[in-house]
Amino acid sequence: MSAEWDVIVIGGGHAGCEAAAASARAGARTLLLTHKLETIGEMSCNPAIGGLGKGHLVREIDALDGIMGRISDVSGIQFRLLNRSKGPAVRGPRTQSDRKLYREAMQAELAATVNLTIEAGAVEDLIFDEGVCKGAICSDGREYRAHGVVLTTGTFLKGMIHRGQERIPAGRVNEAPSIGLSDTLYGLGLQMGRLKTGTPARLRKSSISWEELDMQPADPDPVPFSFMTDKITVPQIECGISRTTEETHRIISENIDQSAVYSGAIAGRGPRYCPSIEDKVVRFADRTSHQIFLEPEGLDDDTVYPNGISSSLPDDVQDAFLRTIPGLANVEVVRYGYAIEYDYVDPRELDATLQLRKAPGLWLAGQINGTTGYEEAAAQGLMAGLNAAFAAEGKDPLILSRSEAYIGVMIDDLITRGVTEPYRMFTSRAEYRLMLRADNADQRLTEKAIELCFAGPARIERFQTKMGELERAREMARSRSLTPPEAKKAGISVNADGKRRNVFDLLAYPDVDWDMITAVWPELAELSEETVEQIEIDALYSGYLERQQADILAFRRDEAVRIPTGFDFGSVGGLSNEAREKLERARPETLGQASRIEGVTPGALTAVLAHLKRKQKDAS
């Protein structure tokens, strides 16, 4: 029987939206099933997109013609390029978003997506046909059949909200959790666990004394996320900055036993980089104050998100400590903060396409895989959606490597090493950070989207125009050079070694700028600002990038050795029991991935390689 759908995406959060859009873009008949249509594209926590590592992910999503970047550009109300004063490899675009604009833009985008149907439905179970996932069943009994299912449950899997002594089963405030789906996953024999995260109280904007606060403005020239966006036209706002006081800390310390986390009610681990205010007060007892950003949730929204003080203390304690914060003496709370605990699946159960190895046809993306963050979720959604679509169409999967994209770094980290706390992207996780920049995400990835036919015509045209100009400019820069005396005449002092230096070589000198170059070659002045910036970045990093290229070649050689699914590590002679167990558990897909598993020695790798080679030889 032919399925109604190629791909069903369950969940309308950031992972689900990106998955549905990607699957549809890849040509698959896609159904998005979610509890409530109104909350599609909801920002449940901090109304912000991007940052270090995260901004890189958004650029990569965009380079693969995903939607998060464009939606952020039409809803961002405080764009700031982080690390502006540092090198281009570590600049991170970030914005606060207007929650309503974001949600509306996302819903409009999906509604207009060809091949995509959206229906409301609370999925309670999955359909399996001989071990392969073939569809979903809603709580009202509706059944949908498909070639593949992408599951993006966020915090809904057995979600439990904690606030003081209160326990409320919920996926988000006032939204029921998914119990049935959790049981289904346990039934598959998957390694699962609990994680926790938290959110602060929401404050009424009009109850804050803004005049008492320092304000942080947006950048004067907002840098968009999407390579398709020319200019940010959304009005930009300021955020307030305040700080906790010793009095705040005193109230929190005195009531610490009422916090859900410290009373021992929560077993799941929370992220170290997103601690609650209770955690901050306890773990950093020597600090007398912590910074708080007061971020308006929208242009015409009376809600403010106080960034930095998530809490699971009881309502009255939250009220009390909030009022000790400068600017918040008379604050009104719109909704109190809470901690939430939810199920996740050990991501080592996944293959590199984010498909469950124990349940083919079922892809997972977002918090269910132990990550945190909208951007991490969306990036996984994109990859899961694409690969589910490709599988339905009988095409090869798309797998990005650590040397190509932050997306590759994240997925490899997840499936190889698992998680012990919600996983967040940092630039320090990327070995090839100088190569994997936000500014060149399109140069790294868009070609793949074009080749595999999931980039739209507008994207293709824009990309090809840009690359055409860039190539021409690079050629111009390569072919124009100066001898040391000529350079000296142009005011550039270099060693008198008789070597000709081209534009890239000259730009690599710290005191040489583009004006000095165009003074020598006036024809280069016609190049666009964007193109010149790329030339300058190429020049800045060239020495390091050349060295990294050699590393990457060696890295890719091991990555190119694929270990087939179902490879029997037990049949490899000469493997120690420890190495065998570790390999069996991690089930690496490439020799390179195997080498990153702790405890797998060079000997074990060679044994595996030998075995693979012999099989190859026997087969031919």
Question: Rule CB under 8 A: which residues touch other proteins?
Answer: 51-53, 82-83, 86-87, 89-90, 92, 94, 243, 272-275, 279-280, 283-284, 287, 290-291, 293, 307-308, 426-429, 431, 433-434, 510, 541, 544, 573-576, 601-604, 606-607, 609-611, 613-614, 617
Secondary structure class of 259 (helix, strand, coil): coil
Tell me whether residue 455 or residue 575 sits nearer to other proteins (CB atom): 575
CA angle 518, 520, 525 (to 5 degrees): 20
Closer to other proteins by CB, 421 or 469: give it: 421
The rounded distance, in Å, linking the Cα atoms of 582 and 588 is 10
Complete DSSP assignment for 320-343: HHHTTSTT-TT--EEE--EEEEEE
Q: How far is the CB of 586 from other proteins (least distance, A)?
A: 16
Cα-Cα-Cα-Cα dihedral sign, residues 54, 59, 64, 68: positive
Q: Least separation, in Å, of the C-beta of 276 and other proteins?
A: 8
Least distance CB 250 / other proteins (angstroms):
17
Q: Which is nearer to other proteins, 420 or 528 (CB)?
A: 420
Give 239 or 445: the residue with its C-beta nearer to other proteins: 239
State the nearest-atom distance from the C-beta of 198 to other proteins, in Å.
Answer: 10
- Burial pattern 490-528, b for ≥16 Cβ within 10 A else e, equals bebebeeeeeebebbbbbbeeebebebbeebeeebeebe
CA atoms within 13 A on the CB side of 198: 33
- Among residues 290 and 459, whose Cβ is nearest to other proteins? 290
Shortest distance, position 538 Cβ to other proteins, whole Å: 15
CA gap 50, 94 in Å, rounded = 4
CB of 36 or CB of 614, closer to other proteins = 614
Element holding 446 (H helix, E strand):
helix 441-451
Closest to other proteins by CB, 173 or 241:
241
The CA R_g of the chain, rounded to the nearest whole Å, is 26
Structure-token pair, residue 620: 């031919």
Q: Which two tokens stand for residue 137?
A: 């069943």
Phi/psi of residue 382, each to 5°?
Answer: -55, -50
Return the number of the residue (193 or 360) whose C-beta is nearest other proteins.
Answer: 193
What's the 3-state SS for 274-306? CCCHHHHHHHCCCCCCCEEEEEECCCCCCEEEE
The residue ranges of DSSP E strands in 152-191, in sequence order, are: 160-163, 166-169
Q: Which is nearer to other proteins, 64 or 430 (CB)?
A: 430
Q: Residue 198's Cα: distance from chain center in Å?
A: 19
- Name the β-bridge partners of 216: 239
Whole-number Å distance between alpha carbons of 374 and 118: 21
Q: How far apart are CA 360 and CA 130, in angstroms?
A: 10
Nearer to other proteins, 186 or 544 (CB): 544
Cα–Cα distance, 452 to 56 (Å, whole number): 22
Q: How far apart are CA 134 and CA 383, in angstroms?
A: 19
CB-wise, 170 or 435, nearer to other proteins? 435
H/E stretch holding 478 reads helix 457-479
**Minimum separation from the CB atom of position 155 to other proteins (A):** 18
What is the rounded end-to-end Cα distance, in angstroms, of the chain? Answer: 37
Q: Compare residues 129 and 212 and give the one whose CB is closer to other proteins.
A: 212
Structure tokens at 73: 């550009």
DSSP class of residue 562? Answer: B
Q: How far is the CB of 583 from other proteins (least distance, A)?
A: 12
The Cα diameter of the chain in Å comes to: 82
Nearest distance, CB of residue 420 and other proteins, angstroms: 9
